[in-house]
Structure 1
Amino acid sequence: MGQLRIEKIQELMKQEISQIILQELKDPRIGFVTVTQVEVTRDLSIAKVYVSIMGNEEQIAKSWKGLNSSLGFIRREVGHRIRLRVTPELKFVLDKSLDYSDHIQKLLLQIERDEQNKEQ
């Protein structure tokens, strides 16, 4: 299967899953969740859905449980919205890159403040 087609499917799945989580899921456990990336295998059998969850540890754990319990519903909805011969099996992966970039930003701001204090 062509790489361009796989990339288009990944982007379409990212958009559809984001919309499903935002508008269709009624689970109160699911908080602020962002789909950051979708990786699909070449045979379209498995899709890794990278999600970033904002909140404290308790909120993240609740949202994670809510997302995993709704996997079947999300897969069915993706199957209805995207016409594929076989709908890929979905696996959620927690994406910590936004937390890491936030941590780096805070460190850079702290270094900048320290440099300004040294100059004064």
Structure 2
Amino acid sequence: MSIRTERVAALIQREVAQILQQDYAERLTPMVTITDARVTKDLSIAYVYASVMGETEAERKATFKQLEALSDEVRSSLASRIRHQMRTIPEVRFFLDESLQRAKRMENLFDRIRAERERRLSDSETPDAAQ
């Protein structure tokens, strides 16, 4: 990416996060976090990555669907905020970022491996202590 596209992406990420926090927080429950943004070379499309904090996958997907439905409203709010910095406002497309859920799953797997390893070590030490 060029410096210009990187700066525009950072601007869009920051502004969309503020828009969601200030204007749509009550409609988007559970909480939505904007984790990244990328723009095309011609600055016509902004790909915004959102992480949804929720208990169940169904709850996260339902909230993400709400977010997708708000993309036109978010774009118009974005336009009013950055119209002096950009000639045209890019189309906003949201993508679900599940990296936090994947990291949590990996952490749980490592915890299970550690527990299994400790259980095996304690089982192998028990017969030695009896002798």
**TM-score in terms of structure 1 length:** 0.89
2:95 pairs, out of 82, 93, 96, with: 93
Distance 1:61 1:103 in 2: 17
Which residue in the other structure is 1:115 paired with?
A: 117
> In the alignment, which residue of structure 1 is the partner of 2:38?
39
C-alpha displacement of 1:26: 5.6
* Residue pairs, 1:21-36, within 5 angstroms: 21-25=20-24, 28-36=27-35
Larger Rg belongs to? 2
After superposition, residues 1-120 of structure 1 pair within 5 angstroms as 3-25=2-24, 28-55=27-54, 56-82=56-82, 83-120=85-122
Give the conservation status (yes or no) of the 8 Å contact 1:30–1:66. Answer: no
Give, in angstroms, the shift of residue 29 of structure 1: 4.5
Change (3 A) 1:74 1:91: same
Contact 1:35/1:50 (<8 A) preserved: yes
Structure 1 portions without partners, runs of 5+: none
Is 1:32–1:53's contact at 8 Å kept on the other side of the alignment? yes
Partners of 1:71 and 1:24 lie apart in 2 by 13
The CA deviation at 1:89 is 0.3
- The letter of the residue matching 1:79 is A
Percent identity over the alignment is 32
* Count of aligned positions: 119
**1:86 Cα deviation (Å)?**
0.5
The alignment's C-alpha RMSD in Å is 1.7
Which one is further off, 20-29 or 79-88? 20-29
Structure 1 pair 33–111 and aligned structure 2 pair: CA distance change class (3 A)? same
Amino acid across the alignment from 2:65: K
C-alpha distance in 1, partners of 2:29/2:15? 17
